[in-house]
């Protein structure tokens, strides 16, 4: 019987071992990742990490633990190739603390002992002070008592002498102990401060924050696939540097164009494909929309009282300040994530542009001359990318689930839109038709063009069969500008007439002709009897688009459909000239609202939504 149980026990143990060998769950291999691409902007960089995932098919979570300190937490997004789907990407931070070393423990014990000793000596000083105060009270007692006894003839000289000697000796001893205690206390305090500094040095970096990207992935099949994690980092940038070299015969000049890179993102970029860009790393793909330019009448004397005479230098500074605010608003547009931010920043750039146009309307000869001189000035630099050949090493120093609803192709019409009164950039837009069987609810979008990430934005709710517009970012090979050609002033009876001529210019650096919508605006007033604005002529007829003629044209907005020839700039640039006249009571002067009035905002928002469907 004992032999039977022994055999049974052996078989059971063997079965358990085989079960453990055949069915134990192995720890999955962590995927490898490395930084492959970096697009470096002037103050940030877009970093791409390529992750090689070698796991069985299924759903799983992967954590990247070493995101840099300067990562922009809300900039993370991921892309996967065929065979893997990104369900969500989340950013999180996790504090960690190193285990204290033996040296640190000993140091903390010494600091604690010193702290106790300093406290004890401080209390000793208090006791010494109390004892001295008691001896002082004894001195004040002995002198009156001796005087009284002397007057009665009963003074005991020996007792008095002994008492006085005792007080003096005790006082001297207390003073000596106090001095010694103060010296030791000072030494301990100095040592305590030294040990505290040493403690701070030893514990520096012991407590830190780990920044992680959490990816929720669904792998369709077994095998190795790639996932690309993208994020923005701060603390880096670049600036250009040139060297020109001329030969001895002065027939040739060699130029060296270098980039001075600042890299303090918190991670090293080793053997990466590097792109240097002068563009803004803003994530919004939409450009500014053009608002009507409202004008009213105001007493001229009031305006003159509020405006002191301006010399050309002051006018130039004023124009530069306005253009600076306009440029800041345009930068904010490129960093707008939701429709509210985009609309607010669009209001800001329109408000700045209105101030410039008001200078054109009300300015005298000095103002007009200054504006004409500054026609070619622009605070917006061109957007250029430099792809560095080979690989480069530069040392350094937020949960979402995605479920696919449908996938389909939409009817689209691509075009370029230029509004030089607002910006020198020419933006790409697509008019799409919702040809699906469902309504598209309002929400954020990510936009790609030719495999490149353009930016993100937001659409309003789109019904089935409805058209809507999506922006595809600025085209770096197109530029536009608006120039004031002339301003003529005349008085007809009791009215003042102002006639303006403008030139709209488009530079096309592409190798093909580009069709675009060129837009500008006239002053607009709801009081036609007081302010009469007349569009005179233009080189190209205004657009006959029914939507434009119905919604925008009555508000003074101008739109032309034009073609910009390939590789045209300077003298070969596309040029459109137009003119208009404005008449009003000569006892008044034109004024424009600031752009913050509720009625202006409501009207512009209605036009913005109806015309642009954003």
CB 565 within 8 A of CB 572: yes
**What pLDDT, on a 0 to 100 scale, did the predictor assign at position 165?**
74
Q: Radius of gyration over alpha carbons of the chain, in Å?
A: 40
**What pLDDT, on a 0 to 100 scale, did the predictor assign at position 411?**
76
The full 3-state SS of 459-503, as one line of letters, equals: ECCECCCCEEEEEEEEEEEEEEEEEEEEEEEEEECCEEEEEEEEE
Task: Locate 450 and state its tokens.
Answer: 């030719």
pLDDT over threshold 70, residue 197: yes
Question: Rounded CA gap, 412 and 470, in Å?
Answer: 10
**What pLDDT, on a 0 to 100 scale, did the predictor assign at position 175?**
84
Mean pLDDT of 189-212: 80
Residue 21 CB coordination number (10 Å): 8
Question: Rounded CA gap, 543 and 499, in Å?
Answer: 23
Question: Rounded CA gap, 255 and 244, in Å?
Answer: 4
Q: Which residue, chain included where needed, has tokens 């030719």?
A: 450
User: With DSSP H G I counted as helix, E B as strand and the rest as coil, what are the percentages for the chain, rounded to 5?
Assistant: 35, 35, 30
Mean pLDDT of 521-530: 87
CA 6 to chain centre: 74
pLDDT over threshold 60, residue 155: no
Confidence of residue 129 (pLDDT cuts 50, 70, 90): confident
**What pLDDT, on a 0 to 100 scale, did the predictor assign at position 140?**
63
Four-residue CA torsion sign, 292, 297, 300, 306: negative
Mean pLDDT of 480-492: 92
**What pLDDT, on a 0 to 100 scale, did the predictor assign at position 307?**
42
**What pLDDT, on a 0 to 100 scale, did the predictor assign at position 436?**
75
DSSP string for residues in 499-527: EEEEEEEEEE-SSS-EEEEEEEE-EE-S-
Range in 304-313, 499-508, 522-531 with the lowest mean pLDDT: 304-313
**What pLDDT, on a 0 to 100 scale, did the predictor assign at position 500?**
95
**What pLDDT, on a 0 to 100 scale, did the predictor assign at position 249?**
46
Mean pLDDT: which of 82-91, 393-402, 578-587 is highest? 578-587
**What pLDDT, on a 0 to 100 scale, did the predictor assign at position 25?**
38
CB 72 within 8 A of CB 44: yes
Mean pLDDT of 308-312: 49
Mean pLDDT: which of 27-41, 358-372, 502-516 is highest? 502-516
On average, the pLDDT of the chain sits at 78
| DSSP helix/strand/coil, 519 | strand
Residues of the chain with pLDDT > 90, as a percent, come to 16
**What pLDDT, on a 0 to 100 scale, did the predictor assign at position 484?**
94
Nearest to 424 by CA among 480, 357, 502, 507: 480
pLDDT over threshold 60, residue 250: no
**What pLDDT, on a 0 to 100 scale, did the predictor assign at position 444?**
76
Question: Rounded CA gap, 286 and 163, in Å?
Answer: 98
Q: Considering only residues 277 and 441, tell me which one the structure prediction assigns the higher pLDDT.
A: 277
Task: Locate 120 and state its tokens.
Answer: 């004890």
Confidence of residue 24 (pLDDT cuts 50, 70, 90): very low
**What pLDDT, on a 0 to 100 scale, did the predictor assign at position 376?**
59
Confidence of residue 21 (pLDDT cuts 50, 70, 90): very low
pLDDT over threshold 90, residue 576: yes
pLDDT over threshold 50, residue 20: no
Range in 146-150, 236-240, 413-417 with the lowest mean pLDDT: 146-150
Q: What is the pLDDT of residues 65-91, one digit of tens each?
A: 889 989 988 888 888 888 888 888 999
Tally of residues, the chain: 614
Four-residue CA torsion sign, 157, 163, 167, 168: positive
Nearest to 360 by CA among 500, 517, 197: 500
pLDDT over threshold 60, residue 28: no
Q: Which residues pair with 489 in a beta bridge?
A: 498
pLDDT over threshold 90, residue 486: yes
Question: Rounded CA gap, 45 and 502, in Å?
Answer: 40
Mean pLDDT of 159-163: 67
Extents of the domains making up the chain: 102-203, 293-381+415-612
DSSP string for residues in 31-59: PEEEEEEEEE-SS-EEEEEEEEEE--SEE
Nearest to 502 by CA among 356, 325, 290, 305: 356
CB 84 within 8 A of CB 53: yes
């Amino acid at each position: 019987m004992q032999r039977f149980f022994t055999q049974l026990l052996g078989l059971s143990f063997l079965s358990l071992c085989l079960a453990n060998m055949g069915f134990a769950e192995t720890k999955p291999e962590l995927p490898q990742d490395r930084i492959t691409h970096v697009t470096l902007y002037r103050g940030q960089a877009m970093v791409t990490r390529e992750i090689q995932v070698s796991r069985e098919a299924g759903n799983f979570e992967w954590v990247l633990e070493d995101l840099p300190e300067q990562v922009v937490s809300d900039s993370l997004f991921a892309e996967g190739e065929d065979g893997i789907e990104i369900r969500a990407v989340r950013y999180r931070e996790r504090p960690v603390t190193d285990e204290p070393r033996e040296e640190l423990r000993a140091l903390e014990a010494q600091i604690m002992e010193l702290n106790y000793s300093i406290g004890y000596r401080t209390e000793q000083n208090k006791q010494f002070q109390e004892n001295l105060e008691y001896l002082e009270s004894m001195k004040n007692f002995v002198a009156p008592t001796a005087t009284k006894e002397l007057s009665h003839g009963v003074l005991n000289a020996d007792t008095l002498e002994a008492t006085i000697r005792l007080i003096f000796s005790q006082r001297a001893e207390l003073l000596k102990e106090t001095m010694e205690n103060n010296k030791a206390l000072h030494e301990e305090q100095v040592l305590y401060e030294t040990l505290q500094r040493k403690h701070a040095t030893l514990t520096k970096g012991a407590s830190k924050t780990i920044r992680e990207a959490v990816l929720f992935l669904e792998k369709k099949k077994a095998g190795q696939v790639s996932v690309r994690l993208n994020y923005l980092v701060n603390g880096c940038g670049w600036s250009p540097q040139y060297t020109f070299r001329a030969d001895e015969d002065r027939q040739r000049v060699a130029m060296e164009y270098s980039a001075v890179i600042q890299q303090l993102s918190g991670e090293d970029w080793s053997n990466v494909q590097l792109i240097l860009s002068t563009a803004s790393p803003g994530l919004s793909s939409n450009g500014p929309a053009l608002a009507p330019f409202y004008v009213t009448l105001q007493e001229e004397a009031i305006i003159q009282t509020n405006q002191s005479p301006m010399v050309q230098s002051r006018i130039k500074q004023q124009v530069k300040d306005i253009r600076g605010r306009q440029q800041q608003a345009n930068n904010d547009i490129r960093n707008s994530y939701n429709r509210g931010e985009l609309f607010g920043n669009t209001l800001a750039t329109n408000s700045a542009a209105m101030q410039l146009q008001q200078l054109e309307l009300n300015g005298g000869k000095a103002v007009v001359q200054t504006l004409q001189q500054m026609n070619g000035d622009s605070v917006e630099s061109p957007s250029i990318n430099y792809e560095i050949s080979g690989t480069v090493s530069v040392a350094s120093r937020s949960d979402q689930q995605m479920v696919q609803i449908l996938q389909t192709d939409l009817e689209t019409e691509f075009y370029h839109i230029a509004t030089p009164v607002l910006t020198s950039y020419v933006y790409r837009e697509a008019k799409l038709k919702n040809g699906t069987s469902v309504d598209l609810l309002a929400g954020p979008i990510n936009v790609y063009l030719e495999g490149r990430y353009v930016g993100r934005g937001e659409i309003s709710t789109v019904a089935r069969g409805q058209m809507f517009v999506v922006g595809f970012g600025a085209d770096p090979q197109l530029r536009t500008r608006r120039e004031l050609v002339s301003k003529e002033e005349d008085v007809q009876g009791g009215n003042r007439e102002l006639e303006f001529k403008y030139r709209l210019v488009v530079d096309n650096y592409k190798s093909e002709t580009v069709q675009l919508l060129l837009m500008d605006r006239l002053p607009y007033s709801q009081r036609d009897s007081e302010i009469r604005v007349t569009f005179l002529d233009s080189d190209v007829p205004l657009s006959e688009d029914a939507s434009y003629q119905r919604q925008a044209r009555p508000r003074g907005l101008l739109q032309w459909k034009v073609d910009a020839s390939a590789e045209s700039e300077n003298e070969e640039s596309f040029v459109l000239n137009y003119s208009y006249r404005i008449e009003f009571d000569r006892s008044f002067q034109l004024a424009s609202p600031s752009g913050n009035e509720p009625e202006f905002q409501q009207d512009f928002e209605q036009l913005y939504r109806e015309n642009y469907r954003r």
